[in-house]
Amino acid sequence: MDELSVKAIGVMALAGAQCGLIGVFVYLLNIPFIGVAIAHASMAGGIWAVIFGLPGKAGAFALSILTAIFAGPVSDRAGTKTNISFGIIFSLAMGLAFLGAGIMPGGMQNASGYLWGSVFLADARDVAFMSASLAVTGLFLMVFYRQVSAVLFNREMAAANGINDRLFFYAIMLLTGVTVAANLNIIGGLMLFALIIIPPAIARRLTRDLKTFALFSTLAGAVCAVGGTAISFVFNLPVSAMVVLFNCAVYALSLAVKP
């Protein structure tokens, strides 16, 4: 295996671990739409930034963070369920993304990079950003474990016990937005969604303890990302497709191993 392939596997392990950890929050809050909604918002931000002559990564990051920041308050103020709010955000972001793709030079060919990513193009800054995001998310869970576990269990009960549930819920939204922004141009929106959703589903089959759940989900994300990437290299198959299929295969195995 050449140096470029080893680097790609290392980047995928980091991306899988990061998505697996943030997936714990997404899974327990039952907001699977957040990943795809923020990913499309990020794609729209990148496309429109290029149209206006700005760096695509900066635009993608900015709209990811803005979406994550405002999604929670908008949902609370409108009195709608969070998944409904993210469904609306997803529709708006997808419309803006495809409108921009129809205007920008190169059209969907350039926009497709946000859907599929390019793990081979990750540079030192990308790795540093991903590592920092993973560290901050892990530190957040460890420092505020009691408050976070209460909010994940039931926001109303957490508020009744004197915990600022909105603050911690919005912080989780923000961390999810940072995770999406850090990984989107590396692994793409489609693989990103799978790595956020499937590893915690695998880990949940094995434990009910939150700390163990977070550890297992992080490991499952890293292992599934590396496993799918390695298979794609061996058989010369698309990385994104094999990572998603490998995640699904491991989940099916978890169903068989532990009911």
pLDDT given at position 63? 87
Nearest by Cα to 179 from 229, 141, 223: 141
Please tell me the least confidently modeled range out of 79-83, 108-112, 151-155, 161-165: 108-112
pLDDT given at position 200? 96
- The pLDDT of 68-85, averaged and rounded, is 73
- The pLDDT of 161-172, averaged and rounded, is 92
Share of the chain above pLDDT 70, in %: 92
Tokens of 217: 């989900």
CB-based contacts of 188, cutoff 8 Å, min separation 6: 113, 114, 115, 116, 117, 118, 240
In the chain, where the domains are located: 3-253
Tokens of 1: 């295996």
Class assignment of domain 3-253?
Answer: mainly alpha
- The pLDDT of 195-206, averaged and rounded, is 93
- The pLDDT of 198-210, averaged and rounded, is 92
